[in-house]
Amino acid sequence: MDVEKVKILRQKLSIPLNAAIKLIKENNGDVSACEKEFHNSNIMAICRLAECDEVVANKFYYIFKYDVQKAIKKIDERLVCITTNEPNETVDKIGFILWAENESLNKYITSKAGSIFIQTKDFNYVINEFKSVFPLKRPYKDVEIIDESFDIYGYNGFDNKTCRGIVNNIARIKTDDLKVEKFLRDLIKWFNVKLRFADSIAVFGNL
């Protein structure tokens, strides 16, 4: 074991002795390869835990100086927009915020549900699928209330089973517009991920 290389690696990465020794052994004493493996492993962990791609993970990982937890926390705090817009096209601020709700988020691997925003013009592609499930019963504190219709001005709560039905209906929407098709796929993907742990999905209109 090259003690000097272990020392150099620990100075560069500030990692425990046993982790440094393991990396040195696995990379045949190549300190640069150890650094690369360490950072790549962290970036992959961020991708998995924050449910983001490598570009986003890499960006926040380096912004927060290799602090995985801070990077994940910041990524989770972002409000992601799902839209048919072109990349440089301005997104309208009027629309709907969607987030997952759970009585115990400890069931899930991250601390935040990962909210999304959909501008009104895009939400109109799927609004009928949400409206179709009303009237809808939902728990509120210790009682059960009935929402008669979809509220475009405020809060709407959909239980897990109802959401799965909505997603199935969204999947049946036919379109020849590639941007709309991608929007629908992205929305379905978001729902499918959140419905693994969510008791319900909230849809809040800010009109």
Domains along the chain? 3-74 (no CATH), 80-205 (3.40.1760)
pLDDT in tens, 143-165: 888 999 999 999 999 999 999 99
Least confident of 56-60, 64-68, 71-75: 71-75
Q: Is 76 exposed, middle or buried (0-12, 13-18, 19+ CB in 10 A)?
A: middle
Axis crossing angle, helix 3-13 with helix 31-50, rounded to the nearest 10: 40
What pTM, to 2 d.p., does this model score?
0.65
Task: Look at 193 and 74; give whichever has higher pLDDT.
Answer: 193
Pairwise CA distance, residues 112 & 119, whole Å: 22
The DSSP code for 198 is -
3-state DSSP call for residue 3?
A: helix
The string of DSSP codes covering 61-112 is HHHTTT-HHHHHHHHHH--EEP-SS-TTSPPPS-EEEEEEE-S-GGGSSSSS
What value does the mean pLDDT take over residues 20-43?
92
Query: Which pLDDT belongs to residue 150?
Result: 97
Query: Which pLDDT belongs to residue 127?
Result: 98
What value does the mean pLDDT take over residues 110-124?
80
The DSSP code for 30 is -
What value does the mean pLDDT take over residues 163-170?
98
When computed from its CA atoms, the radius of gyration of the chain, rounded to whole angstroms, is: 22
What average pLDDT is seen over the chain? 88
Beta bridge partners of 100: 201
- 132 — pLDDT class (breaks 50, 70, 90): very high
- In terms of average pLDDT, the best of 76-85, 102-111, 185-194 is 185-194
The contacts of residue 49 (CB under 8 Å, 6+ apart) are 72, 109, 110
Residue 188 has pLDDT above 90, yes or no: yes
Query: Which pLDDT belongs to residue 108?
Result: 44
Query: Which pLDDT belongs to residue 1?
Result: 59
Query: Which pLDDT belongs to residue 157?
Result: 92
Residue count of the chain = 207
120-142 per-residue burial string, b: 16 or more CB within 10 A, e: under 16: bebbebbbebbeebeebeeeeee
- 64 — pLDDT class (breaks 50, 70, 90): confident
Query: Which pLDDT belongs to residue 48?
Result: 86
Residue 102 has pLDDT above 50, yes or no: yes
Residue 67 has pLDDT above 70, yes or no: yes
pLDDT in tens, 6-26: 888 888 888 888 988 899 899
153-180 per-residue burial string, b: 16 or more CB within 10 A, e: under 16: eeebbbbbebbeebbeebeeeeeeeeee
Considering the chain, what percentage of its residues have pLDDT values greater than 70? Answer: 93
Pairwise CA distance, residues 26 & 76, whole Å: 33
